[in-house]
Amino acid sequence: MRTLIRLGAARRISKGLFFLVSIKSTDPGSEYPRDAGALASKLFAPCYIGGWSAANACRLYSSFRPETFVVTSSRVRSSRVRVGNVRFRLAHVPERLITGPGFVSRHDPPESGPERTIVDALRSPAWLGGIRPLAYALRKHRWSDGWDPDRFIEIMEHAGTGPAVKRLAALDTLLSLHIADVVQAVADKRTGGIVALEPGRLGGRIDTYSGVRVNVDPEGDERNDIDRLDDEYSDDELEDVDL
């Protein structure tokens, strides 16, 4: 491999992982991996494609974020990584949450399906860009032909948390989703205290029924949340994997 690297026929991505440059390339120095999924499966395994990337694939919500959202149980040094022009946004979870129901397994790495994508975002709304994109995705899925309350309950039981159940109860009321049966089925996962509908934002009224501080109008302009997230990060904060 050292010889191939010296000849420009291979490039090192990370420890033990190399990229073979096409012999037909007229500019080997500009070559880099282009398949984000294949690259993620090698760099961050065990992992899956989730968040806004999965929402795009499921047609739940269209995000124009340039980063591929990867959920991994591997320890990573940075939450944002770039390999050539491929950008990743990483979220770390316990290994038990990398498996279970709700994945499209024909992909490598797997992608979270619509229910799992929504449940993940109920736990961490930032995975979709905030509560408004989450509300949009949840309402769209709820009134689609693919809505299956039993499957949603199964995935909530596996991957949901107390705050996730509370946000689901609040959104059921705020969006008139009529899924009280689903909320009731996972009510035993609820915890004490008050959680913010949108983590990180102040203010808002307390909804005592759901145990949620409603600090964002979930039916507002979800585009503002994506723009806000884009402003929070710059390219200078991306950590390049050493090719």
Q: What is the pLDDT of residues 95-144, one digit of tens each?
A: 999 999 999 877 789 999 999 999 999 999 999 999 999 999 999 999 99
Using alpha carbons, select from 146, 145, 195, 201 the residue that is nearest to residue 171. 195
Which long-range contacts does 203-207 make (Cβ < 8 Å, 24+ apart)?
A: 207/170, 207/173
Determine phi and psi for 193, rounding to 5 degrees. Answer: 90, 180
**pLDDT digit string (tens) for 166-220?**
999 999 999 999 999 999 999 999 999 999 999 999 999 999 999 999 999 998 7
Specify the higher pLDDT residue, 232 or 92. Answer: 92
Total-model pTM: 0.86
